[in-house]
Amino acid sequence: MRSPHLTTRTRRAAYALAALAVSTALTACEPGLDPQGAGPNPTSGPTAASAAPTQPQGTSTPDSVTSTAPSPAASADPVPATSQPAATSAPSATPSSEPSPQPTAPAVPAGLETFYNQEISWEACADGAANAQCATVSVPLDYDDPTGTTISIALRRQAASDGEAENGALFLNPGGPGESGTAFVSAIAPGYTPEMLASYDLIGFDPRGTGDSTHLTCWAPEESAPSGTEDTGSTGAGDVEVAPGDEDGAAKDTDLSEATAVVENNRAAGSALAAACRQYSEVPDLIDHMSTVETARDLDVLRAVVGEDDLDYLGYSYGTELGATYAALFPDNVGRTVLDSAVDISMTRDQAREEQMATREGRVREYLEYCLGQEGCPLTGSVDEATAQLVSFIASVASEPLAMTVDGQAAQMDSMTLHNNISNLALAREEYWPALTRALSAAMTQRDATELARVAALAPGTGQQDTTPDSEAVRVANAAYSAVTCTDDPVEGDAAAWAQDLLADLQAYPFTTWFIGSSSLEEAYCQGMGLTARPLTTELSPTDPVVVIGVTGDPQTPYAWSQTLDSQFGTSHLLTVTGFQHGATGINSCATVKVSEFLVTGQLPAEEEVCPIDPLPEAIAEALAQ
Question: Do 460 and 79 meet the contact criterion of CB atoms below 8 Å apart?
Answer: yes
**CA dist 271 → 291, 469, 495, 499 (Å):** 18, 24, 15, 18
Question: Do 378 and 444 meet the contact criterion of CB atoms below 8 Å apart?
Answer: yes
* Residue-level pLDDT at 461: 59
503 against 243, higher pLDDT: 503
> Domain residues of the chain, as ranges?
122-215+288-347+536-625, 244-258+349-457+493-516
* Residue-level pLDDT at 24: 25
Q: Which helix (H) or strand (E) holds 204?
A: strand 201-206
Q: Sort 19 into a burial class: Cβ within 10 Å, 0-12 / 13-18 / 19+.
A: middle
Question: Do 139 and 205 meet the contact criterion of CB atoms below 8 Å apart?
Answer: no
* Residue-level pLDDT at 103: 59
**CA dist 146 → 106, 568, 569 (Å):** 19, 32, 31
Q: Sort 33 into a burial class: Cβ within 10 Å, 0-12 / 13-18 / 19+.
A: middle
> Residue 462 — pLDDT band, cuts 50, 70, 90?
very low
**CA dist 355 → 236, 349, 366, 510 (Å):** 17, 10, 17, 14
Q: What is the DSSP string of 509-554?
A: SHHHHHHHB-HHHHHHHHHHHTPPP-PPP-----SS-EEEEEETT-
Question: Do 237 and 228 meet the contact criterion of CB atoms below 8 Å apart?
Answer: no
| pLDDT above 70: percentage of residues in the chain | 77
Q: Which helix (H) or strand (E) holds 153?
A: strand 150-158
122-215+288-347+536-625: which CATH topology? Rossmann fold (3.40.50)
Other Cβ atoms less than 10 A from the Cβ of 190: the count is 15
Q: What is the mean pLDDT of residues 93-99?
A: 36
> Residue 543 — pLDDT band, cuts 50, 70, 90?
confident
The whole-angstrom separation of Cα 169 and Cα 160 is 9
The whole-angstrom separation of Cα 513 and Cα 243 is 10
Question: Do 219 and 472 meet the contact criterion of CB atoms below 8 Å apart?
Answer: no
| pLDDT above 90: percentage of residues in the chain | 70
Question: Which of 540, 544, 593, 590 is CA-nearest to residue 567?
Answer: 540
Other Cβ atoms less than 10 A from the Cβ of 31: the count is 15
pLDDT, tens only, 493-512: 999 999 999 999 999 999 99
> Residue 83 — pLDDT band, cuts 50, 70, 90?
very low
pLDDT, tens only, 279-306: 999 999 999 999 999 999 999 999 999 9
Q: What is the mean pLDDT of residues 336-363?
A: 95
> Residue 331 — pLDDT band, cuts 50, 70, 90?
very high
pLDDT, tens only, 544-600: 889 999 999 999 999 999 999 999 998 899 999 999 999 999 999 999 999 999 999
Sheet of 572-577: strand order equals: 123-124, 132-140, 150-158, 201-206, 169-173, 311-316, 334-340, 546-551, 572-577, 610-611
Output the CA angle 20-25-26, nearest 5 degrees. Answer: 75
Ranges assigned E (strand) in 259-346: 311-316, 334-340
* Residue-level pLDDT at 545: 87
pLDDT, tens only, 371-416: 999 999 999 999 999 999 999 999 999 999 999 999 999 999 999 9
Question: Do 457 and 441 meet the contact criterion of CB atoms below 8 Å apart?
Answer: no
User: What DSSP character marks residue 348?
Assistant: -
The whole-angstrom separation of Cα 206 and Cα 273 is 21
pLDDT, tens only, 29-56: 322 222 223 333 322 332 223 333 333 3
pLDDT, tens only, 199-239: 999 999 999 999 999 999 999 987 754 443 343 334 444 44
467 against 526, higher pLDDT: 526
The whole-angstrom separation of Cα 384 and Cα 370 is 13
Looking only at Cα atoms, what is the longest distance across the chain? 81
The whole-angstrom separation of Cα 371 and Cα 289 is 48
**CA dist 324 → 148, 342, 457, 556 (Å):** 28, 9, 34, 18
Using the predicted structure, report yes or no on whether residue 8 has a pLDDT greater than 70: no
Q: What is the mean pLDDT of residues 144-151?
A: 97
pLDDT, tens only, 102-130: 557 788 999 999 999 999 999 999 999 99
The whole-angstrom separation of Cα 237 and Cα 521 is 8
The whole-angstrom separation of Cα 438 and Cα 436 is 5
Using the predicted structure, report yes or no on whether residue 466 has a pLDDT greater than 50: no
Per the prediction, the chain carries an average pLDDT of: 81
Using the predicted structure, report yes or no on whether residue 447 has a pLDDT greater than 60: yes
| Three-state secondary-structure class, residue 139 | strand
Q: What is the mean pLDDT of residues 97-102?
A: 44
Contacts with 625 (C-beta within 8 Å, 6 or more apart), sequence order: 435
The whole-angstrom separation of Cα 576 and Cα 608 is 7
User: Do you find a cis peptide bond into 95, omega within 30 degrees of 0?
Assistant: no
Could you tell me the pTM of the whole model? Answer: 0.82
320 against 461, higher pLDDT: 320
The whole-angstrom separation of Cα 463 and Cα 359 is 13
